[in-house]
Amino acid sequence: MRQVGKSRRTAAAVAVAVAAVLIGSAPAPGVAQEQSISGLKGPRGLDFGPGGRLIVSQANGAYGSVERGGEGRGTFHRLGKVPKSFVAPALDMNRRRELFVLAPAGPAKQGLSTLYRWTRADGQEKVANIVRYQRTDPDPFNLAQSPSESNPYGVAALDDGSALVADAANNDLLRVRPNGKIYTVARVRPRTVEVPDGLGDNAPPAGTRMRAEAVITSVTVGSDGYYYIGELRGFPATPGTSAVWRVAPNAHGAVCNPKRPDKGACRMYADGFTSIVGLAAGRGRALYVAELSKKSWLAIEDPNAPRSAFVGSVIRVGRDTDKRRDLKSGKIRLPGDVAVSRRGAVMVTTPIFGDGVIRRVR
């Protein structure tokens, strides 16, 4: 997945006139009948705004609302733009109608690796330089490259005006206060996995046990108020070794430990996923997990990869985490993010590169 294929990377504004489109109170007509919205370029970040309107980001760094029905169906109304990076920015809106936009890895002096906040009144404003903070907060469990490397990849907006940031390179979850102050909520230790088949002569033999970093790509707030974070899994990207962790909302410096998954303020919630890139919480403690590829991110980096390697998924995990349902099984290609409306509609951006769509999967 280009830059996502590195174990410590993701291995894993603004005109007030158009703001009215986002902040409007009435849902667009024909919402119940929609199946997909096309015409997007590299769509990734996705959320539902007021009135059930969709908010999405694109590969050029622009973000805005998309009309879901009527003659203007599919029209993108730009709210703002952050600098272009290797993928579109992440985004999430809270109940205060503050939209947080996270520009992924790149030089902060160019506006990347930075968290922004957009509001109707003030437009886009810079909140925090994530990479600067990570230089003071190195990963103590680092396995590759610099322990201070940063790739802020996922964001969740909190109703107090704070935001959670999942850093795929530093393997941690940060909380950014409204004034830009940052602290580490939790960090995830590496996990021992077995090397899968088919990695070639330059890789360790299949079955070799080795430690692999978590690569935290995603975060959401559950209906229970806890924070949920998802793993991509670093090299060798063994399928079935990505987990979702449940973090106490009052946690500060918690450690998510695969050897002690049921201890502490960060505990393993569900396991057995592959290359998680998005999370969204639904009603009744449901959790929706977007997997980039069922065969792992490493499989799609092979120039001779079969078409099946580009098939990802959105999995619904019930309150009983053993009860799982693969939505639109086999029909979702390289998803970027997943979002759930208050009425239970589940939408996904796909594929994360090239011409893309927002597709309804439930």
282 confidence band (pLDDT: 50, 70, 90): very high
| Helix/strand/coil for 93 | strand
Rounded-to-integer distance, Cα 335 and Cα 333, Å = 6
pLDDT over 60 (residue 262): yes
Rounded-to-integer distance, Cα 296 and Cα 135, Å = 29
Write down the mean pLDDT value for the chain: 90
DSSP for 171-227, please give it: TEEEEE-TTS-EEEEEEE--EEEEPPTT--TTSPPTT-EEEE---EEEEEE-TTS-E
Instruction: Look at residue 354 in the predicted model and tell me its pLDDT.
Output: 94
Rounded-to-integer distance, Cα 258 and Cα 248, Å = 17
pLDDT over 80 (residue 274): yes
112 confidence band (pLDDT: 50, 70, 90): very high
pLDDT tens per residue, range 231-248: 999 999 999 999 999 999
31 confidence band (pLDDT: 50, 70, 90): very low
Rounded-to-integer distance, Cα 208 and Cα 194, Å = 5
- CA torsion sign for 56, 349, 175, 248 is positive
24 confidence band (pLDDT: 50, 70, 90): very low
Phi (first) and psi of residue 108, to 5 degrees: -65, -30
Neighbours of 140 (CB within 10 A): 10
pTM, entire model: 0.91
Q: Hey, what amino acid is at 66?
A: V
Rounded-to-integer distance, Cα 160 and Cα 178, Å = 8
Q: What is the CATH number that goes with domain 2-360? A: 2.120.10.30
Instruction: Look at residue 165 in the predicted model and tell me its pLDDT.
Output: 98
13 confidence band (pLDDT: 50, 70, 90): very low
Cβ contact 294:287 at 8 Å: no
Rounded-to-integer distance, Cα 57 and Cα 156, Å = 15
DSSP for 111-151, please give it: T-SEEEEEETTTEEEEEEEHHHHHHTS--TT--SS-TT---
